[in-house]
Chains A and B, each alone.
Chain A
Amino acid sequence: MPKSGSTPKITRRTALAGLSAGAALLAMPRLGRAADETIRIGFPTPLTGPFAAEARDQVKCAELAVKLVNDKGGIGGRKVELLVRDDKLNAGEAATRTLELIEKDKVHAVVGALSSAVQLAVNEVTRARGVIYVSISQSDTINEAKDFSKYTFHEALNPHMTTAAVARQTLKKGMKVAHLVADYAYGHEMLRGFKRAQAAIGADNVGEILHPFGAADYSTFMPRLMSMRPDVLCISNFGRDQANAIKQAVDFGVKQQMKIVVPVILHNQRLAVGPDVFEGVVGGANYYWGLEAQSKSAAAFNTAFKAANGGAIPTDYGAYGYSGVGSLLAAMQTAGGTDTDKVIDALEKLQYDLSKGPQHYRKCDHQSVQSVLVLESKKKSAMAGDNDLFAILANDTASDDMLRSCSELGHAT
């Protein structure tokens, strides 16, 4: 295992480097038009529906990754193009769009999908067609032997990683823990992660409630959750479900009795319901712009994103779009093109640091080994500005130890 930070990494492209490289490209005579075929990356993501805010951020960041590479002259002189498709947060729709991207648009690789259920549908298609797929949705199953293929890469954190990091920061031996969980793959996987982590710590499970995905009202779950009298309430759902569930839990006075913890704390949902509601809520994250105080690559990513998006800051799920597409393009750069086997080989060997510190894809299951952040939502009076949302409680550095072992996932070791 390479030790973090000690290996040579692909230096990231700052806006400045991008600009100068862009100028260099203009000066360069464009030879070899025949080999100049555009590299197309398919990007299915749920532009409509309850995860739309996160999806749009993903697109912006993915476009930024493409732009930076194109500004530097593309890959071997070939321009990169991002083909964004709305998967409507629906597995069937995602499979159809992905198939279209492969058959009709002849994409060279697919990156994307936000929902864990949808990414598995995309993975089915790409696996069958032998197309590289870099998933940027949280999943614990996509790396398991039964869903895995050599074409499958997982750039996002997985529930095992985030729940373990969050539990380490918030749970203690003997604490009572209750769960409110969205009744679909994401929720189930997060619940499994939390239960595993709390068992290791020695905290007691006092109950779990599964709620329907996409519910608008969570009030009917609150009396029973309160009657369980837990010390910590883990709310494992995503997007607007997270905003609504936390808001209504707070309305019912849950925070006076217990601490609210989420596996993944969402930038956009914090914005959607305000600081008073989220105050003190702790959750895991792959990225937070405030990381720039600790990480040079985060600072450079923020700068490039701000320049391309009118001063806006990148968000957590958006960053996945950047690192997912960015790592793929870096591998294509190394492979000198789009030859699938060469790119897979390059991805497996890739050491990259695009936005948050060193990362690499573990060989056996292609899970990206990366740091995990634990964030706490600030109270209004502690915020230095509108974007100062979270305090970083922990930044666990990348390590294979964070992951379930290859043999546990069913891979030959």
Chain B
Amino acid sequence: MDLSLIIMQLLSGIALGAVLVITALGLTIVFGMLGVVNFAHGALFMIGAYAGLYLASLTGSFWWGLLLAPILIGAFGMLIEFVLIRRLYGRSIDDPLLLTFGLSYVLVEGVRIVFGSDGIPFPTPPQLVGVLDLGIGFFPRYRLFVIALVAVVLLVLWLTLEKTRVGLIVRAGARDPTIMQVLGVDIGRVWLAIFGLGVGLAALGGVLAGPMRSVNPEMGSLVLAEAFVVTVIGGLGSIVGAVVAGLMVGISISLVALFAPEMATIVMFALMAVVLLIRPQGLFGVRGRTA
């Protein structure tokens, strides 16, 4: 087994991990800040892909789809928070869980009615078609772009949360909402924005995945399972955890695919089982946080 093959394999794993990271991130932020386990996350990922496709065909450019779909679906997420989720804060964790679970069915059925159950082609943007010669092998340009874009999104997100006033409010709000309200912060608006951000990230993941996988109403269900695995491994609510675990899962799948390809999907769950045995709160999770 030569070195260049292993490097190519690692790169495939990182590209795979990048999509996992961006999707798991939305899930973990919403749980970390709001305590809501969003079972509709996969469906919103799928809606994001459809919205990206629709907007791209409307404007004639993938880039508009990539930019607008997360914003639009993020806004739709805020509507969901405002109309549905908001009423359930302070109740047991099961209530929003069941609500979002039901919501995911409604969304998937809705897309089936509007767009049909067959997949729809989502062409790769013309600028990113083809492969790049890395000297040791060829790698799809589009996947390299996905890695780069996810890195940028992570950087922006991190800077916002760590270095800005908005980030300060969000972090403080997650730790003690009551004190924040006493200090005069409208915590409801913070939660609204956070849920919108989480949903927007799901939609971004969907648009990014679109040109790699076929776009169909069921595409979110597999992603939801993967995102949960990543979130659990990283620690529920931990942003760093989602990033590390997402890349870890992607790379593990990829390396296992090299030696025992038929095990490629199972390795993700095996990894989760091992982590849960050693650190039940996940790699970066806080003890006692898990509901």
List the interface of chain A (C-beta within 8 A of B).
Answer: 49-50, 52-53, 56, 183, 209-212, 214-217, 219-224, 226-227, 240, 243-244, 247-248, 251-253, 268-269, 271-274, 276-277
Cβ B9 vs Cβ A220 within 8 A = yes
Q: Can you name 30 A-B pairs with beta carbons within 8 Å?
A: A49-B218, A52-B218, A56-B117, A209-B261, A210-B261, A211-B264, A216-B222, A217-B212, A217-B253, A219-B15, A219-B212, A220-B13, A220-B254, A221-B257, A221-B264, A223-B8, A223-B137, A224-B5, A226-B137, A226-B138, A227-B2, A240-B214, A243-B214, A251-B142, A251-B212, A252-B138, A272-B119, A272-B121, A272-B216, A273-B119
Q: Which residues of B contact A221 (CB under 8 A)?
A: 257, 261, 264
List the interface of chain B (C-beta within 8 A of A).
Answer: 2, 5, 8-9, 12-13, 15-16, 117-121, 123-124, 130-131, 137-140, 142-143, 212-214, 216, 218-219, 222-223, 253-254, 257-258, 261-266
Cβ A253 vs Cβ B264 within 8 A = no
Give the 10 A-B CB pairs with smallest separation, nearest first: A272-B119, A274-B121, A220-B257, A223-B8, A253-B131, A212-B265, A220-B254, A210-B262, A251-B140, A53-B118
Cβ A215 vs Cβ B214 within 8 A = no
A240-B216 CB under 8 A given contacts A211-B264, A221-B261: yes
CB distance from A161 to the nearest CB of B (A): 26
CA of A274 to CA of B264 in the docked complex: distance in angstroms? 27
CA of A294 to CA of B254 in the docked complex: distance in angstroms? 47
CA of A224 to CA of B258 in the docked complex: distance in angstroms? 7
CA of A221 to CA of B260 in the docked complex: distance in angstroms? 10
Q: Which residues of A contact B254 (CB under 8 A)?
A: 220
Q: Which of B12, B117, B262 contacts A212 (CB 8 A)?
A: B262
Question: What residue of chain A has the Cβ atom nearest to residue B259's Cβ?
Answer: A224
Q: Which of A244, A248, A276 contacts B123 (CB 8 A)?
A: A276
CA of A3 to CA of B183 in the docked complex: distance in angstroms? 91
Cβ A271 vs Cβ B118 within 8 A = yes
User: Which secondary structure dominates chain A's binding surface?
Assistant: helix
Cβ B213 vs Cβ A247 within 8 A = yes
Cβ B124 vs Cβ A215 within 8 A = no
Q: Which of B143, B222, B263, B266 contacts A251 (CB 8 A)?
A: B143
Question: What residue of chain A has the Cβ atom nearest to residue B128's Cβ?
Answer: A251
CB distance from A22 to the nearest CB of B (A): 31
Q: Which residues of A contact B12 (CB under 8 A)?
A: 219-220, 222-223
Q: Which residues of A contact B265 (CB under 8 A)?
A: 212, 215
CB distance from A180 to the nearest CB of B (A): 9
Question: What residue of chain B has the Cβ atom nearest to residue A272's Cβ?
Answer: B119
CB distance from A305 to the nearest CB of B (A): 17
Q: Other CB < 8 Å A-B pairs besides A219-B16, A221-B261, A223-B12, 7 of them?
A: A52-B117, A212-B266, A252-B138, A253-B140, A269-B119, A273-B119, A276-B123
Cβ A220 vs Cβ B123 within 8 A = no
